[in-house]
Structure 1
Amino acid sequence: MPLIVCLIVFNYLWGLLTAAARPKLHALLPLVSVLVNLGVLVYFKYANFLIETLNQVANFGLATLDIGDVLPLGISYYIFKIISYEVDVYTGKVKAETNPITFACYVLFFPQLIVGPIVKYRDMADQLHKNTGRCSLAQIEQGVELFVFGLAKKVILADSIGALWTDLIGSGGVGLANVSTPLAWLGIIAYSLQLYFDFAGYSEMSNGLAAMLGFDCPINFDLPYISGSITEFWRRWHISLSSWFRDYIYIPLGGNRKGKARQLFNMLLVWAATGIWHGASWNFICWGLYYFVLLTIEKLFLLKYLKKGRVWPHLYTLFFVVLGWGIFTANQPGAPLGLLIQKLFIPQTGISPVYYLRNYGVLLVLGGICSSGFPRWLWKKISAFTVLKTIVFVLLALLCIAYVVAATNSTALYANF
C-alpha cells in the first residue's frame, strides 16, 4: 500500500507538471516519469533475476536483494496503466487529471487491480467524470451476467481441467518423467484450456464488476482458440496487453512505416518485452521470442496462404499455441522445458493417458466446446425466452457457488505474472 500511494502521488503531480511545463522541458518530463515507474517495476520484479544472471554469466558474486519472494499486489498491471496515462498526457490524447481522488480511482480500480485488464485512462476518463446516471438497471444486469459467466469459466472449467496438469507435474503427482508421449500432449492441452478459462474468466468477472459500478470496459478475450493464424490469435488473446505494446512501444518506434527491416526489429523488441513482462524467468523470454519468430514467418510469406485455407490454418494455430504454453509453463519445478519437449516430440512409453481420458475426457470436450462460439450462440437463443433465461442463469450461479465452496486455495493463474 505505501508503494502504490507514493506512485499515485508522484504521477498525479508529474502529470500536472507535464501538462503545464514549458516546451523545452516538456519531452524530458514524461521520460523521467516512465523511467521512475519502470524502475520500480524492475526493482521489485526483475532485480534479483538480473543479479543472478550476471553472476552466472560473469561470476560477479553479487548478493541478491532482500525484497521478499512476493510481488507487490498488481504491480505489473497498475504500472502499465500509469505509464499509459503519463504518455497520453504528454502527447495530448488526454488532459491531465486535476482531481487526485479520480486519478487514484483509476489506478486502484479494484476489479482490474490484480489481473487486469489494462484499461487506459483515455478509455475511462469520461466515465470517471460522469456524476449522474452512471449505472442503469440494464447495465447491472449485464454486469451480473458477465460476472457469473466468468466465474463459471474459472471455478467449473479452469480449476477442474487444470487438475489434470497438476496430477502430472505437481509435488504429489506422477512426475513428468514417468508419463508417455500421448499423456504429455494431453496434459499440455489441459493446461492450455486451464490458462484460457482462468484468465478469460477473471477478465469477464472484472468487466462484470465494472459494469455493476457503471463502467463499460473493453473485452480482453475474443475466442482466441478459434483463430486461423498466430496473428489473429494475438488480436483475440489478452487484447489489452497487445494494444498497450502496440500503442506505447511498436508505433512510437515507427511501427511498419520505416521499411520491413525496421518493422521486424520493432516486432523483436515488442515480443521480447511481452515475454519479460510475464515474469523474471528465461522461459518467458523464450516464449516471447518464439512468438516473434512465428509472427515474422507469417508476416513475410505464410499469412496469405493461411487466409486462403479453411481447416488447416486452425490446426496449425492450435498446435503452435499449445506448444507455446509448454514453453510458458516451463518455469514450474515439475515441468522443465527440455524434458517436456523430449516427451512431446520423441515417442516414449510411460503412464498411459487412458485413465486420465476416463476421468477428464468429458471436461476436455466441454472445454473445447466452451472455447468456441457455441456458448454465445446458445445464450443468445436462450435469452429470447425470459423464464428459461432466468432458470438457466440461476442454476449456473448455484453451480458456481457449489464449486467455490468446494474449492481450496484456488487463485487466478495470472496473478503470478
Structure 2
Amino acid sequence: MAKNIISADKIFDGFKWLIEKALVIEDGIILDIIDKNGIENVQHFEGILTPGFINCHCHTELSHMKNVIPEATGLMGFVGKIMQLRQYSEEEIKSACASALEEMQKNGIVAVGDICNTTHSLDAKTNSNLEFQNFIELAGFLPEQASPRFENGEKIAAQFEKTGATSIVPHAPYSVSKDLFEKINAYSQDKIISIHNEETPDENLLYEKKEGVFLDLYKKMNANIDFFQPTGKTSLQSVLPYLNKPSQILLVHNSFTSESDIQFAENQAKNTHQQIYWTLCPNANWYIERTIPPVDVLRKNRVKITLGTDSIASNYSLNILSEIHRLQKHFPNIPQEEYLQWATSNGAAALGMQEQLGTFSIGKKPGINLISKDFQTIKKLY
C-alpha cells in the first residue's frame, strides 16, 4: 500500500493537539509526523483526527439482549432480568456477539476490555480485527463456591488466550466471597484485572450495615449468608485490600464512589505499586440507574479515567463517542482533549496496549478516527 499524507482541521495525538501537522501513514502505520505547511499531496479532512478508541469495559456476550431490558429498572431489576432471560439459542447469542464487534469497529473502537462469563464470544473474537483483553469474570458469594467457580474460570480462560491477553477477575464486591477473592488475587500476579465498583448505593449498605436489597437477592437465591459480617466500611474499602497482586485494576462504573474511596484506592495502589484506572460507562449508568459517576470528584483527585460502553443490553449503542456525549451533558466545561485522552491513550495504558495503540507515535498502528467538526459523528479511516 502506498504512503499517504493526511491532515485535518485538528489532530489529537492521544495527549495533546498537534498544530499544523500531518501524518505520514502506510497501511495504517504512522511513519512520520511532519509540518504540513509547504507539503504537497496532503489529503485534508474536515474535522478531528484521533487515534482509535479503546472500550475498556464491555459485555459482548450479552449482545443478544439489545432492546430487551427496559430502562431505569435499577441495578437489581436489571440483574433480575438478565437472570430470567435464558431462552436464547447459542446460535443467536454467537451471531449477536459478532454483530456487536462489527458495530464497535465501525464506531472507531480498536480494542476492548471484554467481560466473559461464558465462551459465547470466542468465535466472534477469533474472526475479529479488534484487540482484546479478556476478563474471565467469576461470581460466588458463598465460601464453598470458591474452588469450583475458580476451576471453571481457569478452563474458560484457557480457551480465550488465543484471542488476546486473558485474566480471571471478580465480578463485584456483593457477589464474590473472601475465599474467591483470595484465589483470584493469587492467580493475578502482574496481571490486569477489573471489578464492578459501587454501581448502586446498596453495595455499600451491605458492607457497612448488612442491610439493603442484596439481602433480598440472596434470600431469593436460597443463599444463607449468616457467615457474612459487615465491615463498617464501604464495599471498595472492604475488598480492595484482597487484590494486592495485580499490576493494574480497572474499577468500573464508580457511580456512588466518594472522595474518601478514591483516595483510599489511590493510596493503596501507591503502597502496592499498582495502577488504578477509573472506568466510566455513563450511558449504562443512565440506562439502568438514571445516575452519572462523580467525574468532578475524580478529576479533582487527578486519577486516571477511561471509558467503556458496558453491554448493548444496557446501552443505546456501542460507541465511545456517545459515552463522551453523555458526560458532556453533565460536565460541559471539561475540554474536548481531556475526554479524548480518556478514550485513547488512557484506555490503551489501562489494557496494557500502549506500545501499539492509543497515540499517534512513529511505528504504531493505532487506528485513525475522523470526528466531525461538531463533535457529533465518528468515522473509522484506518
TM-score range, shorter chain: under 0.3
Q: By percentage of residues, which structure has more strand? A: 2
Q: By percentage of residues, which structure has more helix? A: 1
- Mark the structure with the bigger radius of gyration: 1
TM-score (norm 1): 0.20
